[in-house]
Structure 1
Amino acid sequence: MSQDLSEFLPYRLFQAAEVTGRDFQKIYQGRYGMLRTEWRVLFHLGRSGDQTAKQICQRAMLHKTKVSRAVKALEAKRLLTRKTVEGDRRSEILSLTKQGQAALKDLTGIGAEYDQGLIDALGEEKYQALLAALEILNRKA
């Protein structure tokens, strides 16, 4: 490893995620007043269907406090509902409302366009190489 920490791969990956994430954040924040964690909760509910906050924490690699705050905010925006699990009053099943599903559909379309812009900037060959590299790194997690 170089002495220059700006060349440290985890730092570079973090920086790339921050820059690209911040650009997309402007979209979901502007349209729906969502913070990043709220977007991630919405995304995981849309991707995997109804689930508990604990399941979202595991899938999204988020702390339970952040997920709890996001769930409350999304519920206040009427984008999700909570239903207590029978036999376990501490656990709730989270579900997207019709408004939540519509917001997710809207953001999914915009996200696909945003994603295509990134792919175009990289070019197909570099994009495929990046996907392969990320796949290897994600197996380490």
Structure 2
Amino acid sequence: MNDLFLFRLHRMAALAGQPLVRLCEGRHGITRREWRLILTLGLGGPMLSTQLAERARIEPARTSRAVTVLAEKGLVVRAPRPNDRRRVEIRLTERGRAIFDELHPTVLALDERLLGVFSPQQRQDFQALFDQLEAHLGSWRADLALPKANRSRAAAGGAPRRGNP
């Protein structure tokens, strides 16, 4: 099983992400997904939810739920755009900006430590291969046409959700 690339990639992501998860959850009470949204806003400034989902590479529905939680935690606000009050921008609050300002350098240091195993040429080659693989994923996933899992409690034999018969 160790030869399977997807298995190894998942395992590496889990191992490499553990320090970040501990920092996010232990120090700030945020999830890795919430951190990704804070990072995206911290680097890119205020943006619409659709832009945020696209840049953070998180499904729009999950982005919306995470933004709601971040707003409840006082880390982001939804603000109507001055030129089009029907469209709402997501912005970091002072608390959200403080978390970004504290975690971003730490995450950069974690990246540097992880990639420090490579020589400068190996790092450049690795980045090029990673970029190529990432670009390929867009078409690769679209060609698969796999069914989506039904994750409702009723399908799993559990109690129906509230409001469902």
Between the two proteins, the alignment pairs up a number of residues equal to 135
Matches within 5 A, 1:63-102: 63-85=59-81, 86=84, 88=86, 91-102=87-98
The 10-residue stretch of structure 1 (59-68 or 46-55) with the greater mean CA deviation from structure 2: 59-68
More helix by share: 1
Q: CA RMSD in A?
A: 2.0
* Stretch of structure 1 that moved more, 24-33 or 9-18: 9-18
Unaligned 5+ segments in structure 1 are none
2:31 to 31, 35, 51: 35
- In structure 2, how many angstroms separate the alpha carbons of the residues matched to 1:125 and 1:18? 26
Deviation at 1:26, TM superposition (A): 0.9
Deviation >6 Å, runs of 4+: none
2:47 counterpart (39, 46, 51):
51
Amino acid across the alignment from 2:107: G
SS at match of 1:7: coil
Cα distance in structure 1, aligned partners of 2:21 and 2:69: 16
Choose between structure 1 and 2 for higher RCO, CA contacts under 8 A separated by at least 6 residues. 1
Partners of 2:7 and 2:52 in 1: CA distance: 25
Q: Does 1:116 pair with 2:112?
A: yes
Identify unmatched segments of 5+ residues in structure 2. 139-165
Hey, what's the Cα distance between the residues in 2 that align with 1:32 and 1:92? 26
Rg comparison, structure with higher value: 2
User: Structure 1 residue 21 and structure 2 residue 17: aligned?
Assistant: yes
Is residue 8 from structure 1 mapped to residue 4 from structure 2 by the alignment? yes
Deviation string for 1:80-128 (max 9, x for gaps)?
A: 110134353xx42101112211110110111122112212344544433
User: Any idea what SS the aligned residue of 1:34 has?
Assistant: coil
Q: Partners of 1:127 and 1:67 in 2: how far apart?
A: 31
**% of aligned pairs identical?**
26
Shift of 1:12: 2.3
For normalisation by structure 2, the TM-score amounts to 0.72
Aligned-partner Cα distance in 2 for 1:122–1:23: 20
